[in-house]
Amino acid sequence: MAVRLLRLTSRAGQPVAHGNLDTVPAQEETVLITGAAGLIGSMLRTRLVRPGRLLRLLDVVPLDAGFGEQAVTASTTDLAAMTRACSGAAAVIHLAGISREAPWDQIAEANIHGSYVAFEAARRAGVPRVVYASSNHAVGFTPRAAFPVADYAFPAPDTYYGVSKAAGEALGALYHARYGLDVICLRILTCMERPRDIRALSTWLSPDDAGRLFAACLSVPSPGFRVVYGVSANTRGGWVSLAEARAIGFEPQDDAEIYAEQVIAATGQADGEPAFLGGDFCLPDLDADRLT
Ligand SMILES: NC(=O)c1ccc[n+]([C@@H]2O[C@H](COP(=O)([O-])OP(=O)(O)OC[C@H]3O[C@@H](n4cnc5c(N)ncnc54)[C@H](O)[C@@H]3O)[C@@H](O)[C@H]2O)c1
């Protein structure tokens, strides 16, 4: 397959990123994944690859493209580069950003501005669908008494990070209502290789369930605007509604309980039920004065 070097430039014409983009046969479905070098992006690369699909991987961290992949090194805060990266895509999976609490200016730039750019680039390039990685921290201050947290529960962010996720959901609602994009916001709970603490025995989203969830987001016909929780079928779960997840065709299959003994022995923790959904993100450790 022929390989061409694509130079992505900012509006001002300054080179900002380079990517080795393979030629895309017309019949291929292209899916742009932003933040593809991260934890979830790495999980999805192996789980979303299939014949007739091209995964276009974008990150500020350079990536090596494998079979059925293209790599683009660019920032999601660069509208020109993102619009170019969206070209010809059937869907954008927007993962890129800061995935923890951080000072406001960093969160505002990477997560809020970066998400605006992702939606606007999708609109400009005519991409019909965006799957947005939101977070349980958009509703982190929901008290235990309100479990299971309802689908579409009004934002109750626990951090600036959580505010940025609520803002991304609001952008998704705007781009759906005004421009007709299909937008699925995934309020992911705890997605990692395996649960590491007692809370995660309730909130774990396994890599395979994550693969199934994002696959459902790509294949469900005409979803419109959705807010969906992403969590596995954990014995200690039930903290959030799974109705919308099931409505888009996702049925979780994994259960963190197989790691319970190990986690309890390693951490010495016994009670995993916090006062609020967001767990430690709700504690004073993340007050503004303590952020660096
Ligand atoms: N893993 C979880 O448990 C979890 C839970 C809820 C939500 N999320 C969200 O899912 C997404 C992916 O999470 P993750 O765990 O893989 O995070 P991660 O930190 O491992 O990966 C984030 C990726 O985004 C990239 N990135 C950051 N800023 C960028 C920019 N301006 N342009 C391009 N790339 C940029 C980083 O280089 C990194 O590769 C994040 O938005 C995160 O907030 C994750």
Contact 198, 269 (CB under 8 A): yes
pLDDT in tens, 69-126: 999 999 999 999 999 999 999 999 999 999 999 999 999 999 999 999 999 999 999 9
Q: Quick one: what percent of the chain has pLDDT higher than 70?
A: 90
Provide mean pLDDT across the span 42-57. Answer: 97
Read off the amino acid at residue 281.
F
Write down the CATH superfamily of domain 3-290. Answer: NAD(P)-binding Rossmann-like Domain (3.40.50.720)
The sign one gets for the Cα dihedral 234, 235, 241, 245 is: positive
Of the candidates 25, 22, 69, the one whose C-alpha atom is nearest the C-alpha of residue 50 is: 69
**Catalytic sites, residue numbers:** 161
Mutate-to-test residue for ligand 1 from 33, 34, 40, 132, highest number of ligand atoms within 8 A of CB: 40
The rounded radius of gyration (Å) of the Cα atoms in the chain is 19
Q: Which residues line ligand 1 (CB under 6 A)?
A: 34-35, 37-41, 59-61, 75-77, 95-97, 99, 110, 114, 133, 135, 188, 190-192
- Distance (Å, rounded) from C-alpha 277 to C-alpha 183? 24
Atom of ligand 1 nearest to the CA of 41: 16
> Tell me, what's the pLDDT at 158?
98
Distance 96 CA to ligand 1 centre (A): 5
If pLDDT is split at 50, 70 and 90, which confidence band does 40 have?
very high
Which residue's CA lies nearest to atom 21 of ligand 1? Answer: 38
pLDDT in tens, 125-162: 999 999 999 999 999 999 999 999 999 999 999 999 99
Each domain of the chain, given as residue ranges in start order, spans 3-290
